[in-house]
Amino acid sequence: MKCWTRRKFGCFAGATCLAALVPRVARSQVAARVVVIGGGVGGATVAKYLAASATMIEVTLIEPKLRYTTCFFSNLYLAGLRSLESLTHGYETLAQRYGVNVVHDSVTAIDPVGKTVALEGGAKLPYDRVVLAPGIAFKYGTIEGYDETATQAMPHAWTAGPQTKLLRQQLESMEDGGVFVLVAPPDPFRCPPGPYERASLIAYYFKQYKPRAKILILDAKDSFFEQDVFQDGWNRHYPGMIEWLPGQFTGGIQAIDVKGRLLKTAGDTFKADVANVIPAQEAGQLAQEAGLADQSGWCPIDPMTFESKLQPGIHVIGDAAKAGNMAKSAFASNSQAKVCAFAILAALTGSERFAPHLFNTCFTFLASDDAVTSVISYRAEPETIRINDIFISKVGENAETRRKAVREADGWYAAFTHDVFG
Amino acid sequence: MTTRCFRDESASNIRQIIVLSISASLVIFVANRSAVADNDRGAQLAATCASCHRLDGRDKGIPSIIGLDEETFIRAMQAFKSGERPSQIMRVMSRSLSNEEIATLAHYLSTLRMETKRP
């Protein structure tokens, strides 16, 4: 059995060509420093793939939380099909096996001129490259009466953890016959099928425990991703339980009276027993403060490297990035993180660059034994990212195909979180 | 001093992926240039597979793709491409890769070995 230290492994990789190392020595003696900000899927993936490059790159990952709960699959927790613990992952493996320097702190500022990242704890970290993976921020104020305080009464549950727990508690406490209102956000937002999967899986829970309950979706949009597949699933599994009202029908949600549990649209006012309000979104706060977002609220990037078009030396990946036609999803973030990691390695070490491959795959649950898939490959062009090829599950697929997707989804979650955190 | 033990193939596989990436420019002077570049490219392509397929040989729900002989892997990918082997996900994935990339990936994955017990 071989037992190598990190240093020995690095030596092994280059041992056959010591003489050839000479022109590179000056460069390799000084480790390049990459600071990754944000320990979600994008940040953890880029940190892992960079740190696995052994001694030449020193990788620091800044994340305030000790553990990360995945937003993907959290609707299964709301349905009672998974524990929150099974969706929660630590950073120990990144630190211990890959040598990532994990710092649990918050970033207060990025100085792109001095090339430093300032932390709340007082430290100032110098960098050669920064990768920012800040996720989303909610645009409070777009719905009158719904601010951060209101999330404690009407959770968004669109970042997983305490908010998801709160929503589950409220659903458990709701009387049979109650009305659950879900406010679905305008495009673009994290996880396009997510709100509708949530409605499906909460209906799955209601069907067993509160069969007289109703679900009302007040949408800002007039259509949504995989709409026909969802509506077919709702008719088959939960007939009469879920009602979807498009923006053109209601005029959109205008204001919320949190105390009265009233949701006001341009026309009608709806009373909720439990309300889940998913607000409009934009790139995470730090991206806004660091001048990385444009007027759209998202961060323009070079599709080949994910380097910011507004601040050289800073890369933006994941939900915050303005990545052409790429969906905002964990899978897409993971895919972008690898392209970004290989581009940074090429820039810092001179290694060869290859054509980037970008993908997104989603497993979406309609019920415990009924899941659908979507898979997209993308083409990175100089100015944008376009869909190259796409498959989306169709209405009328047989039950075994859907059961197989459930089994694949479970396997995918295990493999994917291993790729990110393990 | 702490000594870390990279006994499991998962860690060394991923490490191999990246180390080969960055060492390409160094090794280039003494090794066959195209062989190194192919391995480097294979490693980066394999990283995309790792989003669904564990590269340590575990296969719960989604099959393992490591340690296969190259011909078997290439035949499977061509069958996904043509639709002869039904899988919508693999159809999209395989169609995004050129025949040359599939051959490079086949060679790279064939060299990865199943993870032994973790320490």
> Which residue of B5, B7, B8, B15 is the best one to mutate when testing the A interface, meaning the one whose CB has the most A CBs within 10 A?
B15
- How far is Cα A101 from Cα A97, in angstroms, rounded to an integer? 11
**Helix A330-349 vs helix A41-51: angle between axes, to the nearest 10 degrees?**
30
* pLDDT at residue A50, as a whole number: 95
Specify the higher pLDDT residue, A114 or A18: A114
* pLDDT at residue B60, as a whole number: 84
Instruction: For A401-411, write each residue's pLDDT tens digit.
Output: 999 999 999 99
- For B11, the closest chain A residue by CA position comes to A97
Contacts of A31 (CB under 8 A, 6+ apart): A55, A56, A57, A58
- Residues B25, A96: C-beta atoms closer than 8 Å: no
* pLDDT, chain A, mean: 92
* pLDDT at residue B14, as a whole number: 59
Q: To 5 degrees, how large is the angle CA A75–CA A79–CA A85?
A: 65
Q: Which residues of B touch A13 (CB under 8 A)?
A: 19-20, 23
Structure tokens of A98?
């890959």
* pLDDT at residue A19, as a whole number: 26
C-alpha A5 chain-centroid distance: 34
* pLDDT at residue A244, as a whole number: 98
Backbone CA torsion sign across A93, A98, A100, A101: positive
- How far is Cα B66 from Cα B106, in angstroms, rounded to an integer? 9
Instruction: For A278-336, write each residue's pLDDT tens digit.
Output: 999 999 999 999 999 999 999 999 999 999 999 999 999 999 999 999 999 999 999 99
Residue B92, min C-alpha distance to chain A (Å) = 6
Mean pLDDT lowest among A214-228, A337-351, B31-45: B31-45
Residue A376, min C-alpha distance to chain B (Å) = 7
* pLDDT at residue B16, as a whole number: 58
B15, B22, B96: residue with CB nearest A349: B22
* pLDDT at residue A21, as a whole number: 26
The CA-to-CA distance between both ends of chain B, in Å, stands at 19
Please give the C-alpha separations between residue B13 and each of A174, A188, A327, B104, in angstroms, as whole numbers: 49, 36, 29, 16
- How far is Cα A68 from Cα A88, in angstroms, rounded to an integer? 5
Instruction: For B25-39, write each residue's pLDDT tens digit.
Output: 433 343 455 666 677
- Residues B6, A3: C-beta atoms closer than 8 Å: yes
B19, B25, B88: residue with CB nearest A375: B88
Please give the C-alpha separations between residue A162 and each of A158, A166, A206, in angstroms, as whole numbers: 11, 6, 21
Structure tokens of A287?
């991206």
> Which residue of A41, A398, A419, A420 is the best one to mutate when testing the B interface, meaning the one whose CB has the most B CBs within 10 A?
A419
Residue whose structure tokens are 């949530």:
A198
For chain A, percent of residues with pLDDT exceeding 90: 90
Residue A55 has pLDDT above 70, yes or no: no
- How far is Cα A256 from Cα A150, in angstroms, rounded to an integer? 9
* pLDDT at residue B25, as a whole number: 40
C-alpha A196 chain-centroid distance: 17
Structure tokens of A230?
């969802």
- For B12, the closest chain A residue by CA position comes to A52
Going by their DSSP bridges, the two strands A101-103 and A57-62 should be labelled as parallel
Side-chain-side CA neighbours of residue B80 (13 Å): 19
Going by their DSSP bridges, the two strands A179-184 and A129-132 should be labelled as unpaired
A242-245 β-sheet, strand order: A242-245, A214-219, A179-184, A274-277
Contacts of A3 (CB under 8 A, 6+ apart): B3, B5, B6, B7
Structure tokens of A384?
């944008």
Which among A375, A376, A373, A398 has a CA at the least distance from the CA of A386? A376
Mean pLDDT lowest among A175-179, A205-209, B16-20: B16-20
Is residue A331 within 8 Å of residue A362, measured between CB atoms?
A: yes
Instruction: Give the number of beta-carbon pairs within 8 Å between A and B.
Output: 171
B6, B40, B97: residue with CB nearest A9: B6
Please give the C-alpha separations between residue B107 and each of A97, B38, B45, B66, B70, in angstroms, as whole numbers: 26, 9, 11, 10, 6
Q: Residue ranges of chain B with pLDDT lower than 70?
A: 1-37, 115-119
Instruction: For A138-151, write each residue's pLDDT tens digit.
Output: 999 999 999 999 99
- Residues A13, B23: C-beta atoms closer than 8 Å: yes
Residue A3 has pLDDT above 50, yes or no: no
Q: Which residues of A touch B25 (CB under 8 A)?
A: 24, 349-352
* pLDDT at residue A24, as a whole number: 31
* pLDDT at residue B21, as a whole number: 47
Specify the higher pLDDT residue, B39 or A28: B39
Please give the C-alpha separations between residue A35 and each of A57, A370, B21, in angstroms, as whole numbers: 10, 41, 20
- Residues A19, B30: C-beta atoms closer than 8 Å: yes
DSSP one-letter string for A180-246 = EEEEEPPSS-S-TTHHHHHHHHHHHHHHHH-TT-EEEEEESSS--TTHHHHHHHHHHHSTTTEEEE-
Averaged pLDDT for residues A73-100: 97
Is residue A195 within 8 Å of residue A157, measured between CB atoms?
A: no
Averaged pLDDT for residues A227-246: 98
Specify the higher pLDDT residue, B9 or A344: A344
Residue A288, min C-alpha distance to chain B (Å) = 29
> How many residues make up chain A in this entry?
422
* pLDDT at residue A4, as a whole number: 31
- For A349, the closest chain B residue by CA position comes to B22
* pLDDT at residue A158, as a whole number: 98
Is residue A176 within 8 Å of residue A274, measured between CB atoms?
A: no
